[in-house]
Amino acid sequence: MKPNTDKEEKYLLDVRAISVFYEAIQATWDVWFTVREGSVTALVGSNGAGKTAIMKSISGILPTSEGSILFMDQVLDRLAPHERVERGISLVPEGRKVFPYLTVQENLEIGAYSRKARKRLNQTMAEIFELFPPLAARRKQLGVSLSGGEQQMLAIGRGLMSMPSLLMLDEPSLGLAPIMVKLVFEIIEKINAEGVTILLVEQNVRQTLQHAETAYVLETGRIKLKGKGSELLENPHIKKAYLGL
């Protein structure tokens, strides 16, 4: 589904007709979408719809068999994952994946491995600790000792340490208690207000559409719907398929 876009409008991320495979298994077909600079843009859909495959493709972990990905008008297709980080793309993966036997501080330091980020490591870390006070209090503790919510804070903080222009969050509320889910979405708003563009993948459709400027609905590997988050909340198909209404 190719979006109808104004030719004069510029996008931070422009995904053009990509198809992505997990080895021999095709995960997406002809996916088109754009992410406006400064926005919170969401990909929503059920488990297995292909959302994570798209995120991994943008970050360079999975190759695209067809189509192309542009970031700041530059084609990414031949760039390795670390080169995409250098360009300003950061992925916070599903399941948090913190390093369990490294301290909070060491986990954050690993996120600043690019040359640009290393130069500003101490200042960025101070900003992360200001954003996440529980991490500041536990900076010498091992990742494994943190609660699920604290580990998610650490994973997001590690992603921010690379100083990204685009922060991609894959299921950040997964497995968290309702109070922590609310906090995660507040953190996303705060990060976006600081000028970081957000691409958000979530199964929590209601919360996501309440926060997204633009959302794309992914079903069986294809984009089926696009619209403002607030508009999609009122869509009959969304209400029936995802909101139980």
What is the SS3 assignment for 173?
A: coil
What's residue 43's pLDDT?
A: 97
Q: Tell me if 197 is assigned to some domain.
A: no
Chain segment 118-174, per-residue pLDDT in tens: 999 999 999 999 999 999 999 999 999 999 999 999 999 999 999 999 999 999 999
Q: Tell me if 71 is assigned to some domain.
A: yes
Q: Tell me if 139 is assigned to some domain.
A: no
Q: Tell me if 207 is assigned to some domain.
A: yes
Q: Tell me if 83 is assigned to some domain.
A: yes
pLDDT at 1 over 50: no
What's residue 213's pLDDT?
A: 96
Q: Which of 80-89, 172-181, 208-217 has the lowest mean pLDDT?
A: 172-181
108-112 mean pLDDT: 96
187-193 mean pLDDT: 95
Backbone φ and ψ of 66, nearest 5°: -145, 160
Q: Tell me if 104 is assigned to some domain.
A: no
What's residue 3's pLDDT?
A: 44
* pTM confidence score: 0.92
* Nearest residue to 214 (alpha-carbon basis) of 224, 229, 201, 200: 229
**At CB < 8 A and 24+ separation, what contacts does 140-146 make?**
140/103, 140/104, 140/105, 141/103, 141/104, 142/100, 142/101, 142/102, 142/103, 143/98, 143/99, 143/100, 143/101, 143/102, 143/103, 143/104, 143/107, 144/100, 144/101, 146/98, 146/104
Q: Which of 6-15, 122-131, 220-229 has the lowest mean pLDDT?
A: 6-15
21-34 mean pLDDT: 94
Q: Tell me if 153 is assigned to some domain.
A: no
Q: What is the CATH number of the domain that holds 208?
A: 3.40.50.300
Q: Which of 124-133, 188-197, 236-245 has the lowest mean pLDDT?
A: 236-245
Q: What percent of the chain has pLDDT over 70?
A: 96
What's residue 113's pLDDT?
A: 85
DSSP output for 187-203: HHHHHHHTT-EEEEEES
What's residue 114's pLDDT?
A: 86
pLDDT at 6 over 60: no
Q: Are 199 and 211 in contact (CB under 8 A)?
A: no
Backbone φ and ψ of 79, nearest 5°: -90, 140
Q: Tell me if 223 is assigned to some domain.
A: yes
Query: How many domains is the chain built from?
Result: 1
Chain segment 32-87, per-residue pLDDT in tens: 999 999 999 999 998 889 999 999 999 999 999 999 999 999 999 999 999 999 99
What's residue 47's pLDDT?
A: 87
For residue 62, the enclosing domain spans 1-88+202-245
Confidence of residue 9 (pLDDT cuts 50, 70, 90): low
- Rounded to 5°, angle at Cα 202 from 161 and 105: 25
